[in-house]
A and B are shown apart, each in its own frame.
Chain A
Amino acid sequence: MKPESSHLKKKHISPYSTVRWVILVITLLIIMVPLIFVIGGSFKTSANLYQHPFGLSFHPTFSNYRAVIHDGGMLRALFNSIIVSVITTIAVVVIASLASFGVTFLSGWRGILPYGFLVIGLAIPAQASIIPQFVLFRELHLLNSLLGLIVINTALLAPIAVFILTSFFRKFPVGVLEASVLDGCSTMNVFRRVVLPLSRAPLSAVVILVFLGSWNDLLYPLLFIQSPVNRTLPLALIDLQGQYVTNYPVLFAGVVIASIPMLILYVVLQRQFVAGIMAGSSTG
Chain B
Amino acid sequence: MSKLTFERIASQQRRGPRRSSLGSGWKLALFFVPAVLVYGFLVIYPTLRAFQYSITNWNGYSSNYNYIGFTNFRLLFTEDGLFTNALNNSVKLMVAVVIVETIVAFGLAVLLSNNIRSSRVVRSVIFFPAILSAVSVAFAFTFVYAPDGGLLNTFFHDIGLTSVHLDPLGSNRYAIYWVAGVQAWQYVGEMVLLFVAGLQQIPLELYEAASIDGASRLRQLRHVTRPLIMPTVVLVATFTMIQAFQAFQLVYGLSGNPPASNVDILSTRILTTFADSKLGYAAAESIVFMLIIGTIAILQRRLLRATRGAS
Contact = CB atoms under 8 A, between A and B. Distances in A.
A277 B149 contact: no
A16 B217 contact: yes
Contacts of B307: none
A131 B279 contact: yes
24 contacts: A24-B122, A37-B151, A95-B35, A105-B28, A106-B28, A107-B19, A118-B35, A118-B36, A123-B293, A124-B290, A129-B43, A131-B286, A135-B49, A174-B22, A219-B249, A223-B274, A237-B139, A241-B139, A258-B136, A277-B130, A282-B3, A284-B239, A284-B297, A284-B304
Contacts of B144: 34, 37
A238 B255 CA distance: 11
B135 A238 contact: yes
B264 interface: no
B47 A135 contact: no
Contacts of A228: none
A277 B190 contact: yes
A198 B18 CA distance: 22
A284 B13 contact: no
**Main SS at interface, chain B:** helix
A274 B108 contact: no
Contacts of B252: 218, 222, 238
Interface string B273-289: 01000010011001101
A68 to B, nearest CB: 12
Nearest to A81: B133
Interface in A198-241: 212, 215-216, 218-219, 222-223, 233-234, 237-238, 241
Interface of A: 3-5, 16, 20, 23-24, 27-28, 30-35, 37-38, 41, 49-51, 53-54, 95-96, 98-99, 101-103, 105-108, 110, 112, 114, 117-118, 120-121, 123-136, 151-152, 154-156, 158-159, 162, 164, 167-168, 170-171, 174, 177-178, 181, 186-187, 190-191, 212, 215-216, 218-219, 222-223, 233-234, 237-238, 241-242, 246, 248, 251-252, 254-255, 258-259, 262-263, 266, 270, 273-274, 277-279, 281-284
Nearest to B273: A131
Nearest to B270: A127
Nearest to A154: B38
Contact of B40 (A30, A117, A127, A251): A117
Contacts of B1: 164, 167-168, 278-279, 282
A141 B141 CA distance: 38
Given A118-B32, A129-B47, A38 B235 contact: no
A16 B221 CA distance: 14
Given A54-B158, A99-B32, A135 B60 contact: yes
B253 interface: yes
A95 B124 CA distance: 32
Contact of B36 (A117, A277, A282): A117
A99 B31 contact: yes
Nearest to B275: A223
Contacts of A30: 185
A131 B42 CA distance: 12
Interface residues of B, number: 110
Given A4-B117, A31-B185, A167-B1, 8 more contacts: A35-B128, A98-B32, A127-B270, A156-B43, A167-B9, A190-B22, A248-B143, A282-B194
Contacts of A99: 31-32, 34-36
B300 interface: yes
A16 B299 CA distance: 37
Nearest to A178: B21
Nearest to B116: A4
A233 B289 CA distance: 27
Contact of A266 (B126, B131, B245, B289): B131
Given A167-B1, A282-B1, A38 B19 contact: no
Contacts of A282: 1-3, 194, 235
Name which of A53, A98, A118, A178 has the most chain B CB atoms within 10 A of its CB. Answer: A53
B228 interface: no
Nearest to A232: B133
B259 to A, nearest CB: 12
Contacts of B116: 4-5
A131 B274 contact: yes
Contacts of A108: 18
Nearest to A191: B31
Interface string B98-136: 000000000110011000111000101111111111111
B60 A34 contact: no
B31 A98 contact: yes
A284 B238 contact: yes
Nearest to B297: A123
Contacts of A125: 242, 245-246, 289-290, 293
Contacts of A281: 190, 194, 235, 239
B279 to A, nearest CB: 6
A155 B31 contact: no
Given A34-B141, A102-B31, A131-B286, A278 B19 contact: no
Contacts of A156: 42-43
B53 interface: yes
A167 B6 CA distance: 6
B82 interface: no
B154 interface: yes
Nearest to A125: B293
A204 to B, nearest CB: 13
